[in-house]
Amino acid sequence: MTRFTRAGVFALATTLALAVVGPATAQERVKLINVVELSGAGATAGTQWRNGIDLAVADINARGGILGRQIDIVHYDTQTNPGNTRAAVQRAIDEGTYSVLGPVFSGPIGASMQIAQRAEIAQIVGGEAAGLTRQGNQFLFRTSLSQAAAMPKLATYLKETVKANRIAIVWVNNDFGKGGRDAMLPELQQRGIQVALDVSTEQGQADFTADAIRIRNANVDAVFVYLNEDESARFLLAARQQNVGKPMIGETTLLGARVIQLAGEAANGARGHVGLSIDAPVPAFQDFGRRYQARFGIASDHNGLKGYMAVHMIKWATERMGRFDRKGVADTLRGATITPQMEPGILITTRIEANGDLDRESFLAEVEGGRQVIRSTLPMIRP
């Protein structure tokens, strides 16, 4: 009985000690909340983004955290619905997130960006639609080039390298695909390239046979493909089956590892501009790609890289300030240039414009023998 009582007293004392130590331990942690598309139409992109974040958090925590504090990461699903996104971002802010990570789709970003702005908290997003950074929001930051930055490079490539004068555009009718098409059209017009066929497709579309036949029958020099990764693979397969036989030109979503994995041999010959790719001739990208594959069992696309960089942008800004300051993160990021020497997790030199856009080197690539081969490196727009 006496021994039991002693044990009880010891347990009570330990509990009390932990209760006292608990708050101190909690102070040594920093909470980050990721609000992203884990179900609904954006689930593929959102899952990659989440995985990239999880890998970044694991890396940072293994190296001692941010200014000695370990990161607690929480993921909230938006169901790819603007109303739910808004609720989730509000919840993230109410729960004291240090910065908001996500979402990836531009619509849900548009629905939630005002909340982070009002709370004066940095929001690091995966969206690429040009309009997001034209609204004067000082707290919104991209993790990739905007479509407005990428499309001139692609249009020049079509004109000068592919020598195309008449092209077909195949695009997915969501904010990503429509945004890319709308940004591309004036660039093509400026360079005297005629759009002979404009093919709108649906998100999640399974059969591209009819689209491929239309393109085969059109008198075009090349096809500009601007679809999400899974749809890109399906389109390439349909184009191969229908013997389209035209150069397939696209962006990161046409040349990524996932497309090659799904389309197999049909992906060979696809080429174009790549912003973030684990196959790019950047050792840090390739190392990230290997570790991502090892941890999650799938190849990372550009969204995985974006999620990884997003957390490191916050880490860099905080360490640069030398303190945890929510508003300060946005102030520090705006106008900054982060190099891999300053922060290895940023992977590639990145300049953050005053409006939240990014500038980076990018690549021209081609799929050859089931691998993405980088043909040349394009410099930053304003080196």
Partner 1 sequence: MTEVVAPSPPPSPPVARAASGLSRRLDGVLLTLIAGAVLLWFLPVGMGRYGTYVLTLWLVTSIAVMGLNLTLGIAGLKSLAQAAFMGIGAYTTAILGTKFGVDWYSCFLLSGLLSFAVGLLLGFPALRVKAHYLAFVTLAFATLVWLVFRNEQWLTGGTFGIANIARPTLFGIRTDGALAFHRFVVVVTLVLALALWWLIRSPWGRAFLALRENPIRAASLGVDIRAYTLLAFAIGSAYGGFAGALYSPLVEFIDPSPFALSASFMLLLMVVAGGSGYQLGPFVGALVAVALPEWLRFTGGLYLIVFGVVVLLLLIACPQGILGLAERGWNALRARLGAGAAEPSR
Residues lying near partner 1 in the complex (CB under 8 A) are found at 38-39, 41, 75-77, 79-83, 86-87, 90-91, 93-95, 106-107, 110-111, 114, 129, 131, 135, 173-175, 178-179
Of the two residues 185 and 378, which places its CB atom closer to partner 1 in the complex? Answer: 185
CA distances from 116 to 87, 145, 203, 354, 361 (A): 12, 21, 28, 17, 29
Q: How far is the CB of 86 from partner 1 (least distance, A)?
A: 5
Q: How far is the CB of 186 from partner 1 (least distance, A)?
A: 15
Q: How far is the CB of 339 from partner 1 (least distance, A)?
A: 34
Nearest of 33, 172, 24 to residue 97 by alpha carbon: 33
Q: How far is the CB of 24 from partner 1 (least distance, A)?
A: 25
Question: Could you tell me which residues come within 8 angstroms of residue 119 by beta carbon, excluding any fewer than 6 positions away?
Answer: 93
Which segments within the chain are labelled E, that is strand? Answer: 29-36, 70-77, 100-101, 123-124, 140-141, 166-172, 194-201, 222-226, 248-250, 271-274, 337-338, 350-352, 358-359, 362-368, 371-378
In the three-class reduction of DSSP (H, G, I as helix; E, B as strand; rest coil), residue 195 is classed as strand
Of the two residues 93 and 309, which places its CB atom closer to partner 1 in the complex? Answer: 93
d(CA 264, CA 237): 8
Of the two residues 91 and 191, which places its CB atom closer to partner 1 in the complex? Answer: 91
Q: How far is the CB of 38 from partner 1 (least distance, A)?
A: 7
Of the two residues 173 and 377, which places its CB atom closer to partner 1 in the complex? Answer: 173
d(CA 7, CA 10): 5
Which segments within 62-193 are labelled E, that is strand? Answer: 70-77, 100-101, 123-124, 140-141, 166-172
Q: How far is the CB of 247 from partner 1 (least distance, A)?
A: 27
Tell the residue number behind the tokens 């169901």, with chain if given: 79
Of the two residues 172 and 274, which places its CB atom closer to partner 1 in the complex? Answer: 172
Of the two residues 135 and 377, which places its CB atom closer to partner 1 in the complex? Answer: 135
DSSP state of 66: B
Of the two residues 171 and 363, which places its CB atom closer to partner 1 in the complex? Answer: 171
d(CA 206, CA 209): 9
Q: How far is the CB of 276 from partner 1 (least distance, A)?
A: 23
